[in-house]
Structure 1
Amino acid sequence: MGSVRRASAWLGLVDDNGGENYYDEDYADYAEGAEPGQSWVTDPRVRVAADSAHDEGRRIATVTPDGFRDARGIGELFRDGIPVIVNLTAMEPSDAKRVVDFAAGLTFGLRGSIERVATRVFLLTPADYKVVNADHRSGGDGFFNQS
């Protein structure tokens, strides 16, 4: 039982129920710091564009996970409709494969897309985004055409 709940029970402000309640002690101290869904946002490996972009709906997150346990943060960002760039260069190959499998299932389930940008770097885009590839073979003179 959390310390506040114990003190309240000792003072008689709440019913103690003889220790039989549905309150899990493992999560008691977790809620005292930050809200459970918001604690990973302070992770320095996760960066989201400025708040002004949030107001206009133009945010992209970059995530550099250390292990598979960081996949939850990727999923939560993507589920909120934010495109995510996942940089797996710092991970072990076995964990990187698990994260790619997770990301592929995530994008399939939410009708998004996953695209390899570079070696071990992937872009996850929600369904309402379109990725435009700059193809040099498309017609036109092009900016760098020197002829």
Structure 2
Amino acid sequence: MGSVRKASAWLGLVEDSDERYYDDEYAEGAETGDAWVTDPRVRVASESAVEQGRRIATVSPDSFRDARGIGELFRDGVPVIVNLTSMEPSDAKRVVDFAAGLTFGLRGSIERVATRVFLLSPSDTQVVSGEAASRSTQDGFFNQS
């Protein structure tokens, strides 16, 4: 089929006589109406992450007013990465004070990840630092010395 004929068929100006693009199973499924049925074993990543508690929120507040959103996420048991790089220093300090009180009150932990970036972890979340991870691989399989 030539390119002009293909373009005409795509535009609907002529009938597409080239049926090689369709297989029989697809055509039968389209007729019965169940062509879009999803396999029940397939799960959306965000749904399985919520079920297993593997969701992490990243928040970049603009002002202290955004602290409430941080608190609500943390109260729901979601670890929160707070990026304060775009805030004024005085407001950033207030958010850090709020986050410290929040983590203390809910028995979580707060860790500085980078300059003006903090990780708030609920009490049931284990955070492995880079030092602990490097110690575990020094004596393990990856030791090439």
CA-CA distance at 1:146 after TM superposition: 5.0
Post-superposition Cα deviations, 1:13-62, rounded to whole Å, max 9, x if no partner, equal xxxxxxxxxxxxxxxxxxxxxxxxxxxxxxxxxxxx82331122211100
- For 1:68, give the aligned amino acid: F
Gaps of 5+ in 2: 1-44
- What residue is the counterpart of 2:40 in the other structure? none
- For 1:120, give the aligned amino acid: R
Larger Rg: 2
| Correspondent of 1:69 among 65, 68, 78 | 65
- For 1:95, give the aligned amino acid: D
- What residue is the counterpart of 1:133 in the other structure? 129
CA-CA distance at 1:140 after TM superposition: 1.1
- What residue is the counterpart of 1:88 in the other structure? 84
CA-CA distance at 1:142 after TM superposition: 6.5
The 1-side partners of 2:118 and 2:81 are apart by 6
- What residue is the counterpart of 1:102 in the other structure? 98
Q: How do 1:110-121 residues align onto structure 2 when only pairs under 5 Å count?
A: 110-121=106-117
Does the C-alpha gap of structure 1 residues 98 and 140 become closer, same or farther in structure 2, counting only changes over 3 Å?
Answer: same
CA-CA distance at 1:141 after TM superposition: 5.6
CA-CA distance at 1:133 after TM superposition: 1.4
Does the C-alpha gap of structure 1 residues 142 and 67 become closer, same or farther in structure 2, counting only changes over 3 Å?
Answer: farther
Does the C-alpha gap of structure 1 residues 56 and 98 become closer, same or farther in structure 2, counting only changes over 3 Å?
Answer: same
- For 1:140, give the aligned amino acid: D
CA-CA distance at 1:96 after TM superposition: 0.4
Q: How do 1:11-90 residues align onto structure 2 when only pairs under 5 Å count?
A: 50-90=46-86
CA-CA distance at 1:134 after TM superposition: 2.7
Secondary structure of the 1:101 match is helix
Secondary structure of the 1:130 match is coil
Superposition RMSD on alpha carbons, in Å?
1.8
CA-CA distance at 1:132 after TM superposition: 0.9
Provide the TM-score with structure 1 as the length reference.
0.61
The 2-side partners of 1:87 and 1:142 are apart by 35
The 2-side partners of 1:106 and 1:87 are apart by 16
